[in-house]
Structure 1
């Protein structure tokens, strides 16, 4: 257990203390991170193609994805709507509609990477007849580099401990999403007859589809990794589409449902639809959830 956690947290810890003072290096790390995420998700697609009884496993991926998405979403939305009623959040009135299509395209491009890897894997397996046993080792190496870069980004995000501790709304949203996601994960595990700790691990992605798909796939195999990726990707797509529609009436729900994405992909829409006062809440909530994903997911996976 501790060896596996050390393997993950060492590059995160080291990366956190590497300063990126010049903007060009920050852009370089961001671009490299995006490329490695695309590459490792393509390798997940290759891993899916390498499975035996492929059609049966694809059906299992769909069943896992749908069950976890609906179970977790049910608990998330009920609790977030209660937060909106109990702790209303002021938003700025905005003019016009927000176009979420560019952000949705960015998410869909990662799904395309998985599909492309799947096609390449099928071609390699059935047409070229080459072995695919190298994929797991390649995933591990790229994951270590990716976590180092993620640690660098977190360390240079500019969010200090004081800012986190002072923003109660952001902490509240993060806590609500964590607890209700776990409830949904337990329900999904019960429905699917899975071990409870696997249900909690699958529910601990909080919208970070790239990292959750990688970590789950590395420990539970490509079927669960693919399901975790799709589950969290669906969360982001629903958030991107719904934020412009519900921000004025249900701002906590609009910010909170996106989970970890509220500090990156969904943040621009949150700012434009809810105003600048919503930004600290979104950043703090997303930051806490992003920081929680590797710790909580790996903890449950190692049980």
Structure 2
């Protein structure tokens, strides 16, 4: 585990200082980020294979996943409709059907990468003592690239501040998610700050799983990954169902993925008016994931 929060924040902050106008270079950085996510998720699978009493730990992961997912999801869906009442967002009447199954397969690929690491770790006679150290160093590089991507996302502070729905959605998601995480921590009898850290993933399953795994071990990392992955998969179903009547609720439940993965669903089912709201809310939540997670981890440690 890293010795302090500042050590992890440093590459993120350094990356955020780089303003890059070369689109080709940005594309290469984003591609490298995707590759590193696959690598580190594979290492997460190896870490799970190294656990003692593997069967019991799988049961723990599933229990934690179900408890956090239900508590956080219910809290989000109870709070988000308030934004639709206070800051109503008018969507376009037409909707389009999207190949949601094809989009879901993109998420399944990441699960398969973790599964491959788990399988190879269980069947191959290799030592796994190096996995944690390798994961930590790759995480440093990943956070550096993520900092660059956030800085060069194209959003200015003014664009964020003037979008009241986007800011309200992000605020409600943060507050309600932390409330749900605190409840889950009580139900699971774990440290309250561990619960708050687990609740700060906001749908960014790859980074959430990596940070929690590094901080608290592969059980927490695996559970965090599954919690946020489930949010994304459920969002693909809920967005077309809710966006006509409660657009802010639909966008909000997508969490950080509203600015990238679920954005095509939001745009095609809710219209172009939903796009700025989704991008702003998703950007704010994406920025807060490493900040809040590492903040709560520092207290839990």
Quickly name the TM-score band, shorter chain normalised: over 0.9
Cα deviation, 1:236-273, whole Å, max 9, x if unaligned, reads: 01011221122111101110001100111011111111
Corresponding position of 2:57: 57
Q: Greater shift after overlay, 92-101 or 268-277?
A: 92-101
2:175 maps to 1:179: yes
2:213 maps to 1:217: yes
Corresponding position of 1:274: 270
Equivalent-residue separation in structure 2 for 1:96 and 1:235 (angstroms): 22
Cα deviation, 1:78-115, whole Å, max 9, x if unaligned, reads: 11123223332110112442222222111111111111
Q: 1:204 to 1:119 in 2, by over 3 A?
A: same
Equivalent-residue separation in structure 2 for 1:99 and 1:93 (angstroms): 20
Q: 1:5 to 1:233 in 2, by over 3 A?
A: same
Cα deviation, 1:146-202, whole Å, max 9, x if unaligned, reads: 011101111111111111111111010000000000110011011111111111011
Corresponding position of 1:92: 92
Are the equivalent residues in 2 in contact too, given 1:98–1:244 (CA < 8 A)? Answer: no
C-alpha displacement of 1:131? 1.3
Q: Greater shift after overlay, 82-91 or 259-268?
A: 82-91
Corresponding position of 1:106: 106
Equivalent-residue separation in structure 1 for 2:132 and 2:72 (angstroms): 29
Partner SS for 1:132: coil
2:258 maps to 1:259: no
RMSD: 1.4
Corresponding position of 1:290: 286
Are the equivalent residues in 1 in contact too, given 2:12–2:146 (CA < 8 A)? Answer: yes
C-alpha displacement of 1:21? 2.0
Equivalent-residue separation in structure 2 for 1:3 and 1:58 (angstroms): 27
Partner SS for 1:98: coil
Corresponding position of 2:30: 30
Equivalent-residue separation in structure 2 for 1:52 and 1:2 (angstroms): 22
Equivalent-residue separation in structure 1 for 2:52 and 2:265 (angstroms): 42
Equivalent-residue separation in structure 1 for 2:191 and 2:221 (angstroms): 16
Q: Greater shift after overlay, 284-293 or 240-249?
A: 240-249
Q: Greater shift after overlay, 250-259 or 93-102?
A: 93-102
Are the equivalent residues in 1 in contact too, given 2:83–2:165 (CA < 8 A)? Answer: no
TM-score by structure 2 length?
A: 0.96
C-alpha displacement of 1:3? 5.7
Q: 1:53 to 1:139 in 2, by over 3 A?
A: same
Are the equivalent residues in 2 in contact too, given 1:173–1:256 (CA < 8 A)? Answer: yes
Counterparts of 1:225-240 in structure 2, within 5 Å, are: 225-240=221-236
**Which residue of the other structure, out of 130, 137, 145, is the alignment partner of 1:134?**
130
Counterparts of 1:6-85 in structure 2, within 5 Å, are: 6-85=6-85
- The count of residues paired between Structure 1 and Structure 2 equals 299
Corresponding position of 2:187: 191
Are the equivalent residues in 2 in contact too, given 1:207–1:259 (CA < 8 A)? Answer: yes
Equivalent-residue separation in structure 1 for 2:102 and 2:140 (angstroms): 30
Partner SS for 1:276: coil
Cα deviation, 1:188-221, whole Å, max 9, x if unaligned, reads: 0111111111110110111111111111100100
Q: Greater shift after overlay, 185-194 or 97-106?
A: 97-106
**Which residue of the other structure, out of 139, 143, 149, is the alignment partner of 2:139?**
143
C-alpha displacement of 1:46? 0.6
Are the equivalent residues in 1 in contact too, given 2:33–2:146 (CA < 8 A)? Answer: yes
Unaligned runs of 5+ in 2: none
